[in-house]
Amino acid sequence: MREALLSAQGVTVHFGGLVAVDGVDLEVHAGEMVGVIGPNGAGKTTFFHTLSGVLVPTAGRIAVAGDDLTGKSAHIYAAHGVARTFQTPRVFKEMSAVDNVRFGLEFAGRTRQHAHDAFDDPFAILDFLGLAAVASVPAGGLTPSRQRLLEIGMALGARPRVLLLDEVASGLTHAEVEKTAQLIRRVRDELGLAVIWIEHAVRVLMSYVERVAVLHQGAKIADGDPRSVARDPAVVEAYLGEEGDTQRMAA
């Protein structure tokens, strides 16, 4: 079997007495698009923090392309090709949109080549995301949904091999979600990225990913293709009372 591009083993995070992430294993290969879902407070974002080096897990091991990066700083993860977005956009507000994209190209993306040349130019990335018109506008002046897209652009600038998307679809209209999802799929296909996508809105995610992992109270309770995961009794149980999402999932 091929070696996983990103591999998390037994990742655990304690905040004081609270167990936010509880022994999660996850392996993702190049070209794979994996969704991570779970009710509010399931530990999805905390898990992402560990995968990007923002947070050092209390226990467990994280490897990227075979290199053990556990305990390393976030810039080492970035240098290994892990790029991420944040749930609340964290763009460099005072910098222009194009400088925000250029940032990743100048640092994490400096030593790597993309399979596709189109992404070597920050303007091309903005164009791809439909942000070409606002290239010179300070990022803080963009609408929240454009900042969300710009977050993806910043991550693409880092020439990633693994792309971590944290609720990029939240707050977008249905049409915008559709467009963003197609963008992500296109990037994945053109660059052969491994994509891990967290979304609270389960239905959106299920239609775009080939595999989905479910977190509940910090632990992984299911991992597989969307259809079978949606029928998994443990998942149904976890989502009971959660806005009837499971009925829609199964439907």
Partner 1 sequence: MTLRDSMLATLLTALALTAMPWLVSDFALALTLTCLMYAGLAVSWAMFCGATNYLSLATAAFFGMGAYVTAWGAEGLPYGVAVLIGGLVAAAIAGLVGAAVLHLRGAYFAVITFGLGELVRHAITYYEKAYAGTVGRVISEPPDSVTIYHTVLLLAALAVITALAVRSSRLGLALRGIGSDEERARTLGVNTRRAKIAAFSLSAFFAGALGAAMAMRWTYIDPLTVFNPFIGFQTVLIAMVGGAQTIIGPVASAVLFSLLTEFLRLQFPYLFLILLGLLLILLVLYLPGGLASLLVRWRWRKSGA
- Chain residues binding partner 1 by CB under 8 A are 52-54, 73-75, 77-79, 83-84, 86, 90-95, 99, 102-104, 106-110, 154, 157-158
Torsion sign, CA atoms 70, 72, 78, 83: positive
**Closer CB to partner 1, 54 or 132, in the complex:** 54
Q: How far is the CB of 41 from partner 1 (least distance, A)?
A: 22
- The answer to whether 159 touches 106, Cβ cutoff 8 Å, is no
Q: How far is the CB of 109 from partner 1 (least distance, A)?
A: 7
Residue type, 177: V
- CA 22 – CA 12 distance, rounded (Å): 5
Residue 236: what are its φ and ψ, rounded to 5°?
Answer: -60, -45
**Closer CB to partner 1, 153 or 226, in the complex:** 153
**Closer CB to partner 1, 99 or 120, in the complex:** 99
**Closer CB to partner 1, 139 or 235, in the complex:** 139
Q: Give 5's DSSP letter.
A: S
Q: How far is the CB of 179 from partner 1 (least distance, A)?
A: 24
- CA 248 – CA 245 distance, rounded (Å): 5
